[in-house]
Structure 1
Amino acid sequence: MTEIGTPMANVTVRGPEAPRNLEALDPVFTVSDLSVFYGDYEAVREVDMLIGNREITAMIGPSGCGKSTVLRCFNRMNDLIPGARPAGKILYHGEDLYGDHVDPIEVRRRIGMVFQKPNPFPKSIYDNIAYGPRVNGMKGKMDDLVEQALTQAALWDEVKDKLKQNALSLSGGQQQRLCIARAIAVKPEVILMDEPCSALDPIATTKIEDLMQQLARDYTIVIVTHNMQQAARVSHRTAFFTAEVDDKGVRHGRLVEYDETSRIFTNPTDKRTEDYITGRFG
């Protein structure tokens, strides 16, 4: 096992300091014995974890380990996939996220999603941001809402003079920040990000990472990333998932280890985590 304080695989851990241990965590999500099925196939099994308020939690692991599947459970995006169903519990501030009384549309308003590929609407920059507040009947001066969202997404200064311009004319990095601003505009509490930088160049990636750290002052952020360096740079806590093969030869995603990011990358408790981080597999 690697000694404490010795980053593995040349990963520099310089992210925000985790403010609390798990025992003292103020959880936004409490995940208990979560399994996710697609039809009869159990894609992910028996996940237990807590997601802390106003923290950045990173999910890492090889392809096919179920991390994106788990992420989509947090705002019920898997409901849109025929045959997908969760088992176990996900509590959101103590309320069952999948309870019969819960409106999934309201869930997605409170828990926003930013996808791997920027997906601005084929509308003006202004209308991209204003769309959500209008649909949700939010009150207030729309110009102020748009400016606030774009400012929080570190994009206002770059687009304030071209708000009527089609959003598709922006660069890839600007489009992704626009999508973050669009998510912020409806005043969520949580922002989910599924590999938000995988299609971006290093400069745009740095801007998104800096933005995530700023947003964590006001929002809870959960990010799926294949980039271990990114997880080490930006997150408070990291969850490592892997895919296990059962005695029938079927792969299932499993959560192996979840801890403060500094510990995951310098002194993991499970050898599978160390093997992944040091590049021995994955």
Structure 2
Amino acid sequence: MPVNETSGRTEVRARIALDSQAGTSAPVETGTVIELEGVDIHYGQVHAVRGVSLPVARNQITAMIGPSGCGKSTVLRSINRMNDLIPGAKVSGKVTFHGKDIYAHGVDPIAVRRHIGMVFQKANPFPKSIFDNVAYGLRINGMKDNLADRVEQALRGAALWDEVKDNLKKSALALSGGQQQRLCIARAIAVEPEVLLMDEPCSALDPIATARIEELMNDLVRDYTIVIVTHNMQQAARVSDSTAFYSADVDEAGERFGFLVEFDDTQKLFSNPSDQRTEDYITGRFG
């Protein structure tokens, strides 16, 4: 995939799509692709995440770490409106993509997800052939021209082509766990998103498969902006450029909620964190 041409075309399409839905003001031309400002997330009456603000830089890997129940996956899902699919979920504050509020009136969440793709914790290939798994999103998005070439390009982008090129008609369910996860990455990048969200993509994989996914992320970040949620602090330290540390607390009503403690350059956050709570977590004193 040519870095300049493809990512440039995708970025323009993303801006046009959101501009047509939510006003005509010019996008913000900075190194920040996504910005969260004072984001609160409710599930019904439960105020699950409170006051999250952070930028996501273009063509970098941003990691989100923290103990279970601190809201990092919930925040990740807010970035492409996946929380819309949960009954009673509500996101307030602002989440912008190239300066456009993705929660503004008239913005199509399906269009948002088209440009901000997602890979889930557990590989979830469809019970279809390898080819049809990758072609699925292309077909429903009307990207049917040169379908075989697009599928090959996505599989190459996910470092899977050489392993499956002679078995494209076989069931995706016959692949190993690591191959299935790379297939899901191929399916996500086939429709040429600009941003790729990854929610614990290696948690169910063995160390060898995990290393392959980490190598793949380092390759993909040349063409995509990546946000990853991980419980593995060593993984965050290895692959990310910036890291957000989340924690959880209980309010006066006894309600547990998640919040952002600190966001910084990964090397600095792990070597010289600004907040004692971050240091306590990364040194194993809690969490």
TM-score with structure 1 length normalisation?
0.91
Aligned AA (1:247): E
Q: 1:28 aligns with which of 29, 33, 38?
A: 33
Residue 245 of structure 2 is aligned to residue 233 of structure 1: no
Residue 163 of structure 2 is aligned to residue 129 of structure 1: no
Look up the match of 2:17: none
Aligned AA (2:53): D
Residue 270 of structure 2 is aligned to residue 271 of structure 1: no
Q: 2:208 aligns with which of 203, 208, 225?
A: 203
Q: Could you give the per-residue CA deviations for residues 60-95 of structure 1, whole angstroms, max 9, x where no partner exists? A: 000000000000001100000000001100111000
Residue 184 of structure 2 is aligned to residue 186 of structure 1: no
1:280 aligned counterpart, secondary structure: coil
Look up the match of 2:55: 50
Look up the match of 1:75: 80
Relative to its length, the structure with more helix (as a share) is 2
Q: 1:223 aligns with which of 228, 231, 235?
A: 228
CA distance in 2, matches of 1:76, 1:150: 26
CA distance in 1, matches of 2:157, 2:275: 38
CA distance in 2, matches of 1:133, 1:233: 32
Look up the match of 1:94: 99
> How large is the Cα RMSD of the aligned pairs?
1.0
CA distance in 1, matches of 2:30, 2:161: 34
CA distance in 1, matches of 2:30, 2:66: 24
Structure 1 regions of 5+ residues with no counterpart?
Answer: 1-23
Identity level (%): 68
Structure 2 regions of 5+ residues with no counterpart?
Answer: 1-28
CA distance in 2, matches of 1:140, 1:226: 40
Aligned residues: 259
Q: 2:149 aligns with which of 144, 149, 160?
A: 144
Q: 2:124 aligns with which of 115, 119, 134?
A: 119
Residue 89 of structure 2 is aligned to residue 84 of structure 1: yes
Look up the match of 2:258: 253
Look up the match of 1:5: none
CA distance in 2, matches of 1:140, 1:260: 41
CA distance in 2, matches of 1:80, 1:116: 17
CA distance in 2, matches of 1:60, 1:221: 14
Mean Cα deviation higher: 130-139 or 179-188: 130-139
Aligned AA (1:221): I
Q: Could you give the per-residue CA deviations for residues 209-237 of structure 1, whole angstroms, max 9, x where no partner exists? A: 00001000000000000000000000000
Aligned AA (2:130): I
Q: Could you give the per-residue CA deviations for residues 75-117 of structure 1, whole angstroms, max 9, x where no partner exists? A: 1000000000011001110001101111011111111110000
CA distance in 2, matches of 1:25, 1:270: 28
2:192 aligned counterpart, secondary structure: coil
Residue 42 of structure 2 is aligned to residue 37 of structure 1: yes
CA distance in 1, matches of 2:129, 2:159: 18
Deviation (angstroms), 1:140: 2.5
Deviation (angstroms), 1:139: 4.4
Q: Could you give the per-residue CA deviations for residues 36-56 of structure 1, whole angstroms, max 9, x where no partner exists? A: 001111000001100001110
Q: Could you give the per-residue CA deviations for residues 169-220 of structure 1, whole angstroms, max 9, x where no partner exists? A: 0000000000000000011001100000000000000000000010000000
2:246 aligned counterpart, secondary structure: strand
1:63 aligned counterpart, secondary structure: coil
Look up the match of 1:11: none
Deviation (angstroms), 1:25: 6.2
2:218 aligned counterpart, secondary structure: helix
Aligned AA (2:270): F
Deviating above 6 A after TM superposition, structure 1's stretches of 4 or more consecutive aligned residues are none
